[in-house]
Chains A and B, each alone.
Chain A
Amino acid sequence: MHIAHIVASGMGGIRTSGDLVAWMQMTHKMKIFEAKHYVADKLGVDIIDLTNEEVMRQLREQLEIGVITSIAGSPKGLRAKLKIAELLEIKINSVNLFKSQIT
């Protein structure tokens, strides 16, 4: 059932930019349009391309913020979130903990 919602209305997660928009809603309590606008500005894309795989797949790889397919050695998980926190200028608890342990 949740997959039906993802297909009908979801943003596509790390396949496109759904995780990035979600971070803004969680950390800055942004309504959906404001969150999309913020993320699109940071990525330098139009709002409609936030869910465009043809744009986002390549862009995510360039920005090193994690891509949907598995590429050995490329940023994923915490390494990708570190980049996401920098890109969006947000605090992510797991990233802050990691940074506190390596400095």
Chain B
Amino acid sequence: MTYRILTRMGDGERVTMSAAEIKEDISEGIRDAAQSAEIPELTAGESEQLFNIMAEPSRTVSVSAGEEVVVTDDGCSMSFYAGQDSSGIGVPLSRMQAILTYERACAADTTSIGHSDYSFKPVKPIINFEMNEYYTTSMMTTAPLFYGAQPNMGLYFQPDGPYPNPADLLPQGKIKEACETQEAAAEQLRNDIVFVGKKLNSIGCEGLNLDTCGSAGDADLLAALQAVADLKKATPDMPVIMGGSGEFVLGMHGDVAFDGKRLAGMYPQDQAKVAESAGASIYGVAINTNTNKSAAWNIARAVALVKAAVAAVDIPIHVNVGMGVGGVPMMEAPPIDTVTRASKSLVQIGKADGL
């Protein structure tokens, strides 16, 4: 009888695979990453190391002593008081109580605070409320406290915002109009991020986290990059970190560039370069999980893409490892067997500077 290894699919389904099947999926995942992003494949030794992590019979795994990395908070403490739609557990805690619990009970390396909608646009009209909450909380926390929000340019389009929606214009063949409306929305978004950033800096913000940059496509990412560059000039002592929204920048506009580089179609190693160029302190790469492929395939692919991004820049790379990214299964309650295997692989083989 062939020895079977207990593992998962990208949607979290528990399956068993033979050692040969796991090795084949690791090879295919690496090959897919290399072909898609035009990056080097992992070495044979690294593939073997990855197989050993996947085949380890223990329920959870961890990095070796001395190889630990910083785990950056991106709204994690919100999970204490938020609802199911944010994978929250609904405990009636205030934001400050949740943050202090995360810092002290969970031993988090960094903490963060954010508006429950977690986008810059809704923060602008209540910025004084947010400044007060941040200021009060920052007097209590010892670990770095980020203020986090997403650029989320989609909120600027009709019916949620003032600008004509490119998703309506593009199917009508109105390409020029679709580009113009994205450019206008991106400029407004850039101004809003800078407005919020400057206000938070004035009350001693220890770090601003631009999460899920590029979720509405390349113009969304452009606005975020420009805002980071603006803030680095205006508020040089406030670290600004950026996180991607996916492994591939969608070309909803198709012809916007930052620092002379076209943003549409960028993979993580190039996303990290423009983030570094804008002045970001840390860049968080996001690698999509394919729910139809095994954990071995997804983690191998993520590790190859992360390794290339880490090597491409001098700033730290922290990998997004929430549900559906970084090899973590796409489900509401990701199984810790696969979460920890992704975690260990990204750090030990991908050489991530953090998660």
Question: Once the chains bind, are B68 and A51 in contact (CB under 8 Å)?
Answer: yes
Interface centre among B71, B323, B346 (most CB of A within 10 A): B71
Q: How far is the CA of A27 from the CA of B206 in the complex (A)?
A: 9
Contacts of B207 in A (CB 8 A): 26
Contacts of A80 in B (CB 8 A): 142
Question: Once the chains bind, are A12 and B60 in contact (CB under 8 Å)?
Answer: no
B27 to chain A, nearest CB (A): 25
A21 to chain B, nearest CB (A): 6
Question: Once the chains bind, are A1 and B110 in contact (CB under 8 Å)?
Answer: no
Question: Once the chains bind, are B79 and A2 in contact (CB under 8 Å)?
Answer: yes
Interface string of A1-17 (1 = CB under 8 A from B): 11111111111111110
Question: In the complex where A5-B321, A8-B344, A51-B65 touch, is A68 in contact with B107 (Cβ < 8 A)?
Answer: yes
Count of chain B residues with a beta carbon within 8 Å of a chain A beta carbon = 62
B254: interface (CB < 8 Å) = no
Q: How many A-B residue pairs have CB under 8 A?
A: 186
Judged by DSSP, the binding face of A is helix
A62: interface (CB < 8 Å) = no
Query: Which of chain A's residues 74-89 have a Cβ closer than 8 Å to chain B?
Result: 76-78, 80-81, 84
Question: Once the chains bind, are B138 and A31 in contact (CB under 8 Å)?
Answer: no
Cross-chain contact of A9 among B69, B87, B316 (Cβ < 8 A): B69
Return the chain A residue nearest B111 by Cβ.
A13
B7: interface (CB < 8 Å) = no
Interface string of B267-290 (1 = CB under 8 A from A): 000000000000001100000000
Q: How far is the CA of A8 from the CA of B68 in the complex (A)?
A: 8
Question: Once the chains bind, are A1 and B339 in contact (CB under 8 Å)?
Answer: yes
A58: interface (CB < 8 Å) = no
Question: Once the chains bind, are A26 and B343 in contact (CB under 8 Å)?
Answer: no
Q: How far is the CA of A72 from the CA of B6 in the complex (A)?
A: 48
Question: In the complex where A8-B61, A80-B142, A93-B205 touch, is A2 in contact with B71 (Cβ < 8 A)?
Answer: yes
Question: In the complex where A8-B61, A93-B204 touch, is A32 in contact with B353 (Cβ < 8 A)?
Answer: yes
Query: Which of chain B's residues 58-72 have a Cβ closer than 8 Å to chain A?
Result: 60-63, 65-66, 68-72
B302: interface (CB < 8 Å) = no
B188: interface (CB < 8 Å) = no
Question: Once the chains bind, are A19 and B109 in contact (CB under 8 Å)?
Answer: yes
Cross-chain contact of A6 among B87, B108, B344 (Cβ < 8 A): B108
Interface string of B134-159 (1 = CB under 8 A from A): 00001111111100000000000000
Contacts of A3 in B (CB 8 A): 106
Query: Which of chain B's residues 66-88 have a Cβ closer than 8 Å to chain A?
Result: 66, 68-73, 76, 79, 87
Contacts of B201 in A (CB 8 A): 93
Contacts of A4 in B (CB 8 A): 60, 334, 336, 339-340, 343
B308: interface (CB < 8 Å) = no
Cross-chain contact of A8 among B63, B315, B353 (Cβ < 8 A): B63
Question: Once the chains bind, are A31 and B142 in contact (CB under 8 Å)?
Answer: no
Q: How far is the CA of A17 from the CA of B145 in the complex (A)?
A: 15
A4 to chain B, nearest CB (A): 4
B257: interface (CB < 8 Å) = no
Question: Once the chains bind, are A18 and B241 in contact (CB under 8 Å)?
Answer: no
Nearest 3 pairs of A and B residues by beta carbon = A18-B109, A97-B204, A94-B204
Residues on B facing A (Cβ under 8 Å): 60-63, 65-66, 68-73, 76, 79, 87, 103-104, 106-110, 138-145, 201, 203-207, 237-239, 241, 281-282, 314-316, 321-323, 328, 333-334, 336, 339-340, 343-344, 346-347, 352-355
Please, could you name 8 A-B residue pairs with CB atoms under 8 Å apart, sorted by A?
Answer: A1-B336, A8-B63, A10-B69, A11-B71, A14-B107, A30-B316, A35-B70, A78-B138
Q: A5-B321, A9-B68 are in contact. List 4 more A-B contacts (CB 8 A).
A: A27-B281, A29-B281, A93-B204, A94-B145
Residues on A facing B (Cβ under 8 Å): 1-16, 18-19, 21-23, 25-27, 29-32, 35, 47-48, 50-51, 65-66, 68, 70, 76-78, 80-81, 84, 91-98
